[in-house]
Structure 1
Amino acid sequence: MIEELTLRNIGVIERAELAFSPGLTAITGETGAGKTMILTGLGLLTGRRADPALVRAGQEQGVVEGVLTARDEAELAEWAAASGGTLDDGALLVGRTVPANGRARAHLGGRAVPAATLAELGDRYITIHGQADQQRLRSPAHQRAALDDFADHGELLGRYRAAWDRLQRCRADLADWEATAARLAAERDRLAAGLGDIDAVAPRAGEDDELRTRAERLANIEDLRVALETAWAILSGGDDAPGVLGDLSRSSRALGGVARYGAEIGDWVSAIDQAITLLSEVANELGASRGELDADPRLLDEVHARRAQLAVLMRSHGPTLDDVLSWAERARARLAEIDALPTSRQAVAEEEARARDEAERLAAELRESRRRAAGALAETVNRELRRLAMRGAHLHVRVEPTSLGPSGADDVTITLAPHPGAPPLPVASAASGGELSRIMLALEVALARRPGDHTFIFDEVDAGIGGSAAVEVGRRLRDLSRVHQVVVVTHLAQVAAGADRQLVVSKRVSDSGATTVVTAVSGAERERELARMLAGDESPTALRHAKELLARADVGP
């Protein structure tokens, strides 16, 4: 609830400090005195747009500050901490600074915050009911929440939301499984295709080097053949020449005949014989190689084709043939891992189906309860409207199925037929500003079940009414103030008389200009203010009627 509100240089208000009752506070004053600026200040504290035109003429900035407290201090402290602020001696300090030039600033609990944080504060703790401020019915979600409040669906909604959260997790698990299954299938296909290509070629380690050597050999086979023939002929000789081996044999025999004349001659003979043995082996190999040389060009084409196959594999999995063989080894191991994973989605899908069935069961239970509550809420509000001078108006609450969501599977629509025979229309379109405030008063009274920390602010709630209807409006405001803080801006003494505290807004004019002041009145001052509201003067008759109103309201002067 709002304990204090301070405004400095806002519109016609130079400085005003307002202390609100925890019950019902009435704000009164003549038209044009500046009551709207108080509502504007409250709007700034709840994140409304900050217009530099609000700053008092000649001033650099306007400031609005509020002190908020709650019965549930721990909850308020937790919300403030989540928003970046702290409580000061159990109170939350909120402020908004609006410069004449530049951007507005917001503060909450000693920290600078975005204006959106103040809007969250308003959604949670403060509701302004005026012609342009119907927060309670501004969206289907708010209308559904109002019906759920009336039906006391907290426990049922908690069970449904737990089931909805479980369904969302199961859906995410199923989506993850399907995405993973698709990814693994794609990975398996890629690995299998790569291994198929490699297995079709069946490369061997080092084969690329062997083929490169062989290709070079085949490309130069004629030069190789001439070289081999020449070397073989030199070693083995031919028809016209004995060859190197023949010459060495003759040398060995010649030296062998004189070996007895010196030990070194025997060593020479041994060395020549060893050379003959080695060169004979070389000559034999040269002779054999001569016969194996084949100049068939198809052999070279086959080598080139094989090298091309290996090059394809190395481009895909290389850059070297060793890399290709290593990739194939890893791919076979990964395929074995994938093939070992579960391949059935049945268990995951069955869990998702069970979660969906539970959510749908609870959603159906919610719908049935909402439909019962819709009729009761409409009947309760319509009964209140008849007492609030809206006898011909009729509120309708419709519950229609929709897809599953975080709050069930229902769309809730609240409409109003302003008079008999008129079609039901959205409430904001079917009622004037004053009627709209009275509708919201009737709704809030219907929803008020237990004490809370919310503040309700009503503007124009008494527009166009008087007499017994005004008394009923005052009575309903007082009923609501027993469970929530209520602030009402009113022109009717019948409404103001029921307030626990009355604040009078008045304009004072001096040579330096006009300014607005706010004064809390009690005792004789309050009687005079009520008399002014009743008759426009402080005549004895008006003062007597004012005392009677206060006595009837049982709040004391």
Structure 2
Amino acid sequence: MLASVHIENIALIKNIDISFGGGFNVLTGETGAGKSIIIDALSLLCGARSDREIIRSGEDNALVEGVFTELGKETLALLAEQDIYPDEDGLLLLQRRLSADGRTVARIGTRQVPASKLREAASVLIAIHGQQDTQILADEQKQLILLDNFAQNSALIDIYRSEYNKYTALLEKRRSLRSTEDEKSFRLDMINYRLAEIEKARLSADEEDKLNAERTMLSNSERIITHTNEVYDSLYRNQNSAADRISAAINSLRQLSGIIPEADSLIERLTEAKYELDDISEQIQPYTEQDGENPLKRLDAVEERLEQINSLKRKYKSDVEGILNEYNRLTEEKDNIEYASELLEQLEEQIKEQTAVLNESADALNKSRSVAAAELIKKARETLVFLDMPSVEFDVEFTKKDFGNNGNTEVSLLISANIGEAPKPIAKIASGGELSRVMLALKNISSRGENPVMIFDEIDTGISGKTSDKIGIKLSETAKVGGCQVICVTHSAQIAARADTHLLISKEEADGRTTTRINELFGDERVNEISRIIGGVTITDTVRKTAEEMLSKQAQQTINTSY
């Protein structure tokens, strides 16, 4: 759920903190108080295109932050696919900052991210639906996603996509093999040239590291010989060296064996030290003299070899391991070109077999969609009839198409709102009020597992009070049954009365500036606001009593549904 939102310097808002409750939340207030500003701020949080004109006059930047909590397993899994995780307390922070110079900075948790990444994460967490937001209604791809979500087809889709990826990989391989003979000849010449070039270089995986180490040694050969001789002389070669002194000390202690109690243990320790000294001397000795080859001549050879390797690395834009991998890839491609006819026959058979497998997977997905569509049609019609569209006809049309990432059928939701009219694509419904109800109906019956937070902006526009009450019922139902948090901006008393949390948006003047403020309403405060929505400026006793009855009725229904 969206636990809280912090907004700074956006339009009329100077600085406000909004705490949302679980379940059904409403925001009400007079026209111009700032309800739409809050929706704009939430849209920015979701990665919408920014406009510096939204920054409060006189300020340099604006900020909106949202804290999400109680994220479900499915939501956490979808976020994990984007490498996004809540903190140790289970909180996930989304933040967007706008500057007056047009720059924008987005953050998820403590990590700065591109706006596209913020938008991708927000799409998992929150969905905003305005009265004119018909995106889901106009986009058949989104309609298919809605149907699959309703049908709980995620496992079938994963299976299909796995087979589809195998299918497209085979098609791509065939396309590559079917290149023209001229292209094959040109490509083969280029491949042979590169293979010969890499073969001539005689690369090995560890050669470069060995050459770099040898170059370091050769570059310091004089220092190495000088200092290792000093060490070898001191430890072993000179008269009165450390080795000689230790040997003399051991002989002296042997004269005291049996006389002083520590003599034998000291002899043993010095003997071990002598062995260690001899071993060190033996290791240092090879560095004390120059090999037969002149080190400067050998250094030139090493440098030349390293430059040859680096030249290939620059050309192939890769390290030695990558060049060797490219050699293997080119060898395979050469074999493919030389044996294209034979491979094509094998490939055609593989494609035929994979097409059969893909058809089976697509058929299983289509069958599930067809069964779900029948149930969706039934539930959508029931919900729309409840929402005062008694003559509605709802249908789902399937159209066969070529295999794609989502199957081999397209889906179009069709509707007729009036008797005698044939169902048409859902986006062509003329009435805004009907669009709102269709969108709510679809969200109501398919919201489970979709977005944990759903925001509806003035969904009551253009509908009657009776229908508004029913919309309120469905919004509340979407929150309770659908298992998501619903936030609704409304001018309807019927909808507002059914909310679990009621927030009032108002504006006040201070120091010559207008500022938006927000308060959660309880008791009489809520009665007063419902009365204002019903009666406007003049609130009579009758209006107030109506408001009290609406809230009392809703409270009683809430108690009844909790048992």
Check whether the contact 1:457–1:488 (CA below 8 A) recurs between aligned residues.
yes
**Structure 2: runs of 5+ lacking an equivalent:** 192-333
Alignment of structure 1 residues 298-313 onto 2, 5 Å? none
Structure 1 partner of 2:491 = 491
The question of 1:54 aligning with 2:59 is answered no
1:229 alignment counterpart: none
CA distance in 2, matches of 1:77, 1:146: 19
Q: Deviations over 1:302-323 (max 9, x none)?
A: xxxxxxxxxxxxxxxxxxxxxx
Tell me which amino acid in the other structure corresponds to 1:102. G
Structure 1 match to 2:402: 403
- SS in structure 1 at match of 2:131: coil
- How many residue pairs get aligned? The number is 412
Quote the Cα distance in structure 1 between the aligned partners of 2:177 and 2:336: 17
Aligned twin of 1:89 = 89
Contact 1:6 1:16 in 2 (8 A): yes
User: Given that residues 177 and 336 in structure 2 are in contact (C-alpha distance below 8 angstroms), is that contact kept between their aligned partners in structure 1?
Assistant: no
**Letter aligned with residue 92 of structure 1:** L
- Structure 2 contact 131–459 (Cα < 8 Å) conserved: no
| Residue 516 of structure 1: aligned partner | 516
Q: 2:454 aligns with which of 441, 453, 456?
A: 456
Amino acid at match of 1:498: R
User: Which deviations, in whole Å up to 9, do the C-alpha atoms of 1:66-111 show, x marking residues without a partner?
Assistant: 1122433695387268357763632111111122332222222212
Distance 1:77 1:373 in 2: 24
Aligned to 1:444: 443
C-alpha distance in 1 between matches for 2:78 and 2:449: 19
Match of 1:387 in 2: 386
What's 1:370 paired with?
Answer: 369
> C-alpha separation between the residues in 2 aligned to 1:529 and 1:340?
80
Take 1:12 and 1:190, find their aligned partners in 2: how far apart are those partners?
A: 66
Per-residue deviation, 1:511: 5.0
Question: Using a 3 Å threshold, how does the CA distance of structure 1 residues 345 and 17 change in structure 2: closer, same or farther?
Answer: same
The residue aligned with 2:477 is: 479
Aligned pair in 2 of structure 1 residues 143, 73: CA closer, same or farther (>3 Å)?
closer
Does the 8 Å CA contact 2:78/2:124 hold for their aligned counterparts?
no
C-alpha distance after superposition, 1:203-226 (max 9, x if no partner): xxxxxxxxxxxxxxxxxxxxxxxx
> What SS does structure 2 have at the residue aligned with 1:516?
strand
| More displaced stretch, 436-445 vs 153-162 | 153-162
The secondary structure found in structure 2 opposite 1:465 is coil
Compute the TM-score of the two structures, normalised by the length of structure 1.
0.67
What secondary structure, in the 3-state scheme, does the structure 1 residue paired with 2:65 have?
strand
Task: Name the CA distance, whole Å, in 2 between partners of 1:186 and 1:533.
Answer: 78
What is the CA RMSD across the aligned residues, in angstroms? 3.3
Q: Quote the offset at 1:410 in angstroms.
A: 0.8
- 2:550 pairs with 1:549: yes
**Distance apart, 1:441 and its partner CA:** 0.7
CA distance 1:171–1:161, change in 2 (3 Å): same
Alignment of 1:110-189 (within 5 A): 110-175=110-175
Partner amino acid, structure 2, of 1:465 = I
AA of the residue aligned to 2:71: R
Measured after TM superposition, the shift of residue 458 of structure 1 is 0.8
Cα displacement (A) at 1:540: 3.4
Asked if 1 retains the 8 angstrom alpha-carbon contact of 2:177 and 2:340, the reply is no
What secondary structure, in the 3-state scheme, does the structure 2 residue paired with 1:9 have?
strand
> Structure 1: 5+ residue runs without aligned partners?
192-334
Q: Which amino acid aligns with 1:378?
A: I
Residues 91 and 133 (structure 1), Cα distance of their counterparts in 2 relative to 1, 3 Å cut? farther
**Aligned partners of 2:432 and 2:462 also within 8 Å:** no
Q: Hey, what's the Cα distance between the residues in 2 that align with 1:372 and 1:190?
A: 55
1:540 is aligned to 541
Amino acid of the residue matched to residue 549 of structure 1? M
**Partner residue of 1:470 out of 460, 468, 471:** 468
Shift of 1:520: 0.7
Q: In the alignment, is the contact (CA less than 8 A) between 1:437 and 1:459 conserved in 2?
A: no
- Amino acid of the residue matched to residue 509 of structure 1? E
Rate the CA distance shift 1:344–1:539 in 2: closer, same or farther, 3 A: closer
**Do the aligned residues in 1 keep the contact of 2:127 with 2:451 (CA within 8 Å)?**
no
Percent of aligned positions that are identical: 33
In the TM superposition, what whole-angstrom CA distance separates every residue of 1:501-557 from its partner, at most 9, and x where no partner exists?
01100121345122111111112211221222222355433333223222222258x
Which letter maps to 1:540? D
Structure whose alpha-carbon radius of gyration is higher: 1
SS of the equivalent of 2:514 reads: strand
Equivalences for 1:420-435 in 2 at 5 Å?
420-422=419-421, 424-435=423-434
**Cα distance change, pair 81–154 in 1 and its aligned pair in 2 (3 A):** closer
Report if aligned partners of 1:462, 1:492 keep a CA contact under 8 Å in 2. Answer: yes
Aligned in 2, Cα 1:338/1:76: closer, same or farther, shift over 3 Å? Answer: closer
